[in-house]
Structure 1
Amino acid sequence: MKRVIEKNKRRVQRKNHIRKTLSGTALKPRLTVFRSNKNISLQVIDDVAGHTLVSATTLEAELKGTKSNIAGGTKIGQVIGQRLKEANIDTIVFDRNGYKYHGVVKAIAEAARETGIKF
């Protein structure tokens, strides 16, 4: 149990270190990733106004049954890319939220890039 707490504490420290320099605006909002053992949540945030512009999660009916693995990351990355296109947003800042850039997080980023979103 102690190892899990320390692991999460290190992730939060990495997150805070990254967030010092990373910020989203109306022209270039921030795409943030949260992943748990079972689900993935993505939000596109305008930090200046403090609003969530677009979001996607594996708990939605459209993505129900999608797991927190690379295939699930690819699927939700494509969905967020399409929603960003519908909202006329083509450039974002990617916030990995303290997670390492590999596996699910990398799959999300690559799938969003494939839909035409620029990071």
Structure 2
Amino acid sequence: MNTKTKARQRRARKSRVQMRTAGAMRLSVHRTPRHIYAQIISGDSKTILAQASTLDKDLRAGATGNVAAAAAVGTLVAERAKAAGVTSVAFDRSGFQYHGRVKALAEAAREGGLEF
């Protein structure tokens, strides 16, 4: 594993521990060059309350590795979170920069009704 990946994983671990001690539900984001994934995880880190990704049938038809697809995933995860009764979450960007697709997903989730 290269140094860049190790540094990202270290940043992610540190922020995840802080969120876990606070006991907040978190919106966890993971991205690959082709897809983006989002999950709402309970405060005890044992249950996934809602999830969305570009692998969903609704979103898979279009382009999956761009900012528009990430925004669609953010909107979808916000809808599913509201259906599960979740309104407030901590944003876990998994060590990725808050830029581009990660930022688009976060802003779409905020517009969808989630509070960070």
1:54 maps to 50
Unmatched segments (≥5 aa) in structure 1: none
Which of residues 102, 105, 110 is equivalent to 1:108? 105
Which secondary structure does the structure 2 equivalent of 1:7 belong to?
helix
Which secondary structure does the structure 1 equivalent of 2:109 belong to?
helix
Residue 117 of structure 1 aligns with an amino acid whose one-letter code is L
1:74 maps to 71
Which of residues 31, 34, 43 is equivalent to 1:35? 31
TM-score (norm 2): 0.89
Looking at structure 1, the residues matched to 114 and 16 of structure 2 have their Cα atoms a distance apart, in angstroms, of: 21
Unmatched segments (≥5 aa) in structure 2: none
Which of residues 75, 81, 86 is equivalent to 1:84? 81
Task: Kindly state the Cα deviation for residue 42 of structure 1 after the two structures are TM-superposed.
Answer: 0.7
Task: Kindly state the Cα deviation for residue 79 of structure 1 after the two structures are TM-superposed.
Answer: 0.5
Looking at structure 2, the residues matched to 81 and 49 of structure 1 have their Cα atoms a distance apart, in angstroms, of: 19
Looking at structure 2, the residues matched to 39 and 72 of structure 1 have their Cα atoms a distance apart, in angstroms, of: 9
TM-score (norm 1): 0.87
Task: Kindly state the Cα deviation for residue 8 of structure 1 after the two structures are TM-superposed.
Answer: 1.1
Greater helix proportion: 2
**Runs of 4+ with >3 A deviation:** none
